[in-house]
C-alpha cells in the first residue's frame, strides 16, 4: 500500500449534463452548479489518497474554501485535480482546481478527515433510529 504523504494527486474528467446545472438547484441559469463542482473536487481528493487508507478506514469531508470562478455550460467537460498539501493527524488538506478547457472554473482548498468506517456507520445507524428533529 502506498504511503500517505503530501503531493499525492487525484483527478477526474466529468461531462456536464442537465442534472448538473444550476437550474436543478432552483436557479434559472443553465450552468454547472457550484454544489456539483464542489462534489467533484471531493471525488478528486478521495482518488488522491484512496490506495493509502488502511482496511476499515474511509474519509469524510470537513470543509471547502473554494471559489467558483467561471461558468461551464451543459455538454462541456471539466477536469478536476486535487493535491494533498498537508497531513495534520487524521485531517487531510487538499489544493483543488478545475478547468473546462477555456477557464479555470474552481480553485481552493478541501479538507477531509480519516475515520473508522464501522464506527461511522454505527453512529449513523444510532442517529437514524432517533426521532427526527425539526421535521
Active-site annotation holds for 110: no
**Local structure of 134: helix, strand or coil:** coil
Of 9, 23, 34, 52, catalytic: 34
**Residue 133, CA distances (Å) to 31, 120, 127 in order:** 34, 20, 11
| Whether 42 is catalytic | yes
- How many whole angstroms separate alpha carbon 59 and alpha carbon 51? 12
Q: Nearest 5°: phi and psi at 95?
A: -90, 130
Q: Which of 42, 59, 72, 110 is catalytic?
A: 42
DSSP letters spanning 44-87: HHHHHHGGGPPTTEEEEEEEEEEEE-S--BTT-EEEEEEEEEEE
Active site residue 9: no
Single out the catalytic residue among 68, 72, 97, 110. Answer: 68
Instruction: List, by residue number, the catalytic residues.
Output: 34, 42, 68
Amino acid at each position: 500500500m502506498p504511503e500517505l504523504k503530501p503531493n499525492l494527486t487525484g483527478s477526474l474528467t466529468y461531462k456536464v449534463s442537465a442534472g448538473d446545472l444550476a437550474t436543478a438547484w432552483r436557479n434559472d441559469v443553465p450552468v454547472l452548479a457550484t454544489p456539483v463542482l464542489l462534489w467533484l473536487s471531493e471525488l478528486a481528493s478521495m482518488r488522491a489518497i484512496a490506495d493509502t487508507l488502511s482496511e476499515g478506514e474511509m474519509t469524510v469531508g470537513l470543509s471547502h474554501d473554494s471559489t467558483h470562478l467561471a461558468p461551464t455550460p451543459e455538454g462541456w467537460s471539466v477536469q478536476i485535480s486535487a493535491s494533498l498539501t498537508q497531513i495534520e493527524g487524521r485531517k487531510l488538506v487538499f489544493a483543488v482546481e478545475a478547468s473546462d478547457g477555456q477557464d479555470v472554473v474552481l480553485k481552493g482548498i478541501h479538507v477531509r478527515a480519516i475515520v473508522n468506517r464501522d464506527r461511522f456507520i454505527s453512529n449513523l445507524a444510532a442517529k437514524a433510529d432517533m426521532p427526527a428533529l425539526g421535521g
